[in-house]
Chains A and B, each alone.
Chain A
């Protein structure tokens, strides 16, 4: 009898501290907002999840991701953002500028990690690149500012072309910078540039038709989520009209676009994932500096080149990060 008591005593003493410790903590919810369809954003989401994994958050184990897609309907962004806020998510991922701005309008307390193609400071997302302040931070992947570089590449590709076209989305706030960059670069090498605006499929069609009519020799497609989501159509149009085009993202090249140059977006989203993980662990977005992409990739599609009857200089091919044949 007494031994039993004794063991009870010892046992109780041992388990007591451990029992006291355990407490349930809630699984954080991360909202992922993108102004495209789920399909259009799935690789970015995948890259984002990889970044989260790197910080120790595995979906459906210790984190939940709530994806909100607009399916192309940009006007839904504010409502979706508000929903996420109502749901009291721990963090919102703003994928591209539209989503990020909507999220920023919806909350000033919930941390927002963005992956935008623009200057975060210029767009009022952060106070400074090194110290954002506020509740936003993320990756500013500069693709709009690569306009000049892209023009240079395009020129290298088709040196005889003197009149180039720009396809832009007037709704996109980046457009202006892109256009400026390209026009400045064009001027510096003595080329003429002309901007064509399109806001949806139909307008893209019209734009292509137009620039073909004008006999413009080359095209630069501006960085825009709409365009990225419609990459198939655009590439097809370019092929149809046999216009040598340089794009911003690798999707285009993979779909058949001639040339793309831009920051590696999966890398960018991976970085946002890492940041998201860090914020979930307790770091403040105000103190996480905005990242700039470090890797840029040039992808050239030789098949398309051949189809266009273009002879791409071997040096260019040699420089390409990826060659699609």
Chain B
């Protein structure tokens, strides 16, 4: 027996299978898969970095390289969907976008579930289907994703894809609102304002509208202005009303422009100024605001003194308010849509009618469901700009060219 053989005999083999090809190859396979997945992850990070620098074509190429390595990477699937939706680095293609989002959504990625929900809500790349939108929003919402909670709340408010249920809507709005989602804060305020799904409470409406308003959300700024204007839920304060109207008006919010015009016309909270009033009415009217159009007509017809102009419009406000702008909205929304001006005017001239025609109701009612749709549209146009995504890529984690170039 040679020394070598002796030694070999001595060496015990606690794991006999360690030397077998099978187990070895399973370990090798696991490691190879790991390497491939890590490389895909590096492409994702590189792509995110490039996307952040708005180098969309290079970013898209990175995402493509990544997905070739790991076709099941949910983040890569999400981002390919986003790129196709926004036409970044690739021709816009909603069908492709929805296909990628579905893959990621089915793997449980909340952002992708939300985006797929949006695709169904708007029929972008898929047949419009509110029930499916609700299904996907709910999956993301239950994972705490604020946008989806807001979206699901809107479907419950509008009874789209789910039976109309204001209580559910308010509950979802609250979840999102507590996470700082401005749209949800606004709509939760609306739910309080109208007592939809919650006991009516103007003070709480003001609280939630203020949160959204302070974050620059124009609808909430206008609506908070309306509360100050009428003294609902807050101490009446025309100067504050003007302040909030102005913030929203300067962002191009038609209702706020109209409402600011009213304050100028009657010198409430601001020095009386017909020229300023007309200027703001015009801006609102250009956007089709019926109340502002009516007010302009009246102002033009009554080149009278200030006191007279105050008196004239309100004698017969209704006939002025028959624009066709909101014709595609249902009847209730229609009346609500153009009532603000007349009510505001009424407020000015017939204070005793304020309670019957609260300014706030109309302006908010118009924005309530319809606005949320606008908000969703904005979201779907710019998914990449969601709060989570706005965070710049962590450069330490980004591989840069060096690690990626190794093969």
Asked if A and B are interacting partners, one says no
